[in-house]
Structure 1
Amino acid sequence: MDAIYQNVINANLDQKLKQVEVHSAMGRDLRPGQAQVMLRVLEDWTKTSETLLKALSAKMTQVQEDYEREKQAKEAFEQNLEKIKKDSANSGAGKHRKLVGSGSHMMDYEMGDQHMFQSPEFMGEFERMSYGGNSSKKSGKRVPHRG
């Protein structure tokens, strides 16, 4: 339809047979050398498209691998968490009380075969509470006792 409206072709549409009857077409003559330039442009476009498709395919593969790795890590974490919950529920013994901080604040915690509280975040908070927020102990720097 666009070619007819732009007078590129002179044609009739046969809707009954769903055909286009072309009477004439506008010629597009090329000057000498233009065909070679057009072929080079099309070859460059093809190479660029192939390179882009390869890069997209590689990225899709990487994303899929990352997804599978994260999925496995999540499943392993959940299995470990369930095991820890089960072990914690099964071991009623082993409760200890430890004086934490100053005053009479007490903290109950479970001692099992595995120490669930060995993450850096917990240990940093534990040290801060154990030493009453003393920044010299928290930072690990020794300060000479004056007194």
Structure 2
Amino acid sequence: MDIEQKQAEMIDHFVKQASSLKGSAIAPLVLEATSNPSLFAFSEILAVPSVAELERTESATLLDTLRLFAHGTWSDYKGNMARLPQLVPDQILKLKQLTVLTLAESNKVLPYDKLMQELDVTNVRELEDFLINECMYSGIVRGKLDQLRRCLEVWDFGNFLTAFLVLYNVQVQFAAGRDLRPGQLGNMLHTLSDWLTTSDNLLVSIQEKIKWADTMSEADKKHRKDVEDRVEEVKKSLSLKADADFRGHEEMYSETGGVMDYEEDRSRPKRYFISNLHEAASHILKKITVDWTWFTAKLLEFLLMAFPA
């Protein structure tokens, strides 16, 4: 069961009891309510008619005590001890817990020195024990201690709302809220109005960014398509040129008087040389046949030239 649900159940319990009591008979209920470890809100009890009627009676201090626990701090009690009843240890503990919540509500950064002063704590060890055992373990504050730093940094806090805090010494992620003080509702409405305006402006800005992103995306797609189309055109142009060159070579090789004639012209000197060689060989053979003596003389002449003495 979370702290807000416990709060609701305890408030309902004490409101029903207070509605059935009158005058000084409410005193035990006030003591019990302000000492209860699970109750941190008292506005509903203050609003009970029988409690509000204590304003101008001998039991008015009971009403002042409830107001102290609804809106006050430990310092407020010390400044008004003369007209307030003496608190019991459980009430003192409760008021100091409420003091931590109030400080976290009104300040973004809470130094250890400030906490020690407001809580009447004499040393850091005592302060850290209080924050861990009486605030974190009780569920009114969730966080993490960092002993290297000496302050409490608050991220967010609100009355009857989940609060998210960060401590240099205590990194708080959640804290319970206190009762609204007289006149505080207007400030809260103003804050919420500012938050709503900021949210609307942020939404408009986000929508503009989305629209710009869509426009840029479309432009990028168009540019990419143009490039792809251009590439295809170049490919087609190169393909057509290659086809034309290929057809040109075919025509050149197939036309009469073209490459074939050129090759024929190139072969003519070879045919002429072979023909002359053939004629010379025939003449020599004839000479050998007709005049064997001539052949013998020529052969001897050749051998003498090839192998001189």
Normalized against structure 1, the TM-score is what? 0.49
Normalized against structure 2, the TM-score is what? 0.24
Q: Which has the higher contact order (CA 8 A, sep 6+)?
A: 2
Which of these two proteins has the greater Rg computed from alpha carbons? 2
* Structure with the bigger percentage of helix: 2
